Amino acid sequence: MKILVPVKRVVDFNVKIRVKSDQSGIELANVKMSMNPFCEIAVEEAVRLKEKGIATEIIAVSIGPQQAQETLRTALAMGADRAILVQTDVNVEPLAVAKILKALVDKETPQLVILGKQSIDGDNNQTGQMLAALLGWGQGTFASKVEKDGDDLKITREIDGGLETLDLKLPCVVTTDLRLNEPRYASLPNIMKAKQKPLATMAPADLGVDVTPRVVTLKVSEPPKRKAGIKVKDVTELVDKLKNEAKVI
Ligand code: AMP
């Protein structure tokens, strides 16, 4: 089974985001960028499927600027076999990403595409679902467990108040939730080896996809500053404040 794993380069989850002074977006100059955490989980799951002898080849794909090569090298160091960078400086929206991935699926014929459930920059939570629709494939979103079950995939999803188990016919699309696994750190020898692994570069136009944005961001603003807290001297004062000032009890 061949697996395609799309990985996105985003602002590192540890960075405190700053809004640009003209409110047109967030500050990206000199900001640490990393692989989207849910994509790391997707790479890890693909590597585990390969280690179990279920997957035969893992192809990591990123759509983004030239620097997204670093994200792909991380995926290669974690265990992907080869990588494809679809290079563009445009801020590619989920529908265009899904169209590019669809074109790559047509070319590479994987049996499984495993993506993050959401990119932590745009919080879109759209690409996997759009890709499944464009392909006409089944989808298992927010997977917390992935198992091979005969010719099918068994996906466990965390839903309100319980677990839902799906049986998916291959080929299919899976998106990863936080508790699916804990991604490994790439070891130094694997980081060195990853430098030798194949990384192909192409443009969206090579795949016949127009990435012109369709959505305009009108304004980005910071959340209102929270008021500083106070210390109360005892429970009586706390109850009094909750009742008479905050009026919540
Ligand atoms: P989103 O729909 O933007 O929240 O992203 C969900 C998932 O789609 C991500 O975790 C990635 O696996 C994939 N994805 C989204 N944008 C890109 C991109 N530019 N390059 C590669 N994969 C992407």
Note the pLDDT of residue 227: 85
**Residue position matching structure tokens 């759009």:** 130
| Average pLDDT value for residue range 130-144 | 97
Give 86-134 pLDDT, tens digit per residue: 999 999 999 999 999 999 999 999 999 999 999 999 999 999 999 999 9
Calculate how far, in angstroms, residue 209's C-alpha sits from the geometric centre of ligand 1: 16
CB hemisphere CA count around 124 (13 angstroms): 22
pLDDT band at residue 161 using 50, 70 and 90 as cut-offs: confident
User: Is 90 exceeded by the pLDDT of residue 246?
Assistant: no
Architecture of the domain whose range is 2-223? 3-Layer(aba) Sandwich (3.40)
- The residue extents of the domains of the chain are 2-223
Distance (Å, whole) CA 113 – CA 98? 11
User: Would you place residue 224 in the very low, low, confident or very high pLDDT band (cuts 50, 70, 90)?
Assistant: confident
- Residue 78 burial by CB count (10 A; 0-12/13-18/19+): exposed, middle or buried? buried
Query: Would the CB of 125 count as within 6 Å of ligand 1?
Result: yes
**For residues 70 and 60, is the Cβ–Cβ distance under 8 A?**
no
Interhelix angle 127-135/94-108, rounded to 10 degrees, is: 50
Do the beta carbons of residue 205 and residue 197 sit within 8 Å? no
* β 33-35/9-11 pair status: antiparallel
pLDDT of 48 above 90: yes
How many whole angstroms from 90 Cα to the centroid of ligand 1? 14
Reading phi first (left if > 0) and then psi (alpha if -120 to 50, else beta), residue 87 is in beta
- Integer Cα distance of 145 and 48 in angstroms: 12
- 141 pocket-lining for ligand 1 (C-beta < 6 Å): no
Q: What angle do CA 144, 95, 73 make, to 5 degrees?
A: 60
Do β-strands 9-11 and 172-176 pair in parallel, antiparallel, or remain unpaired?
A: unpaired
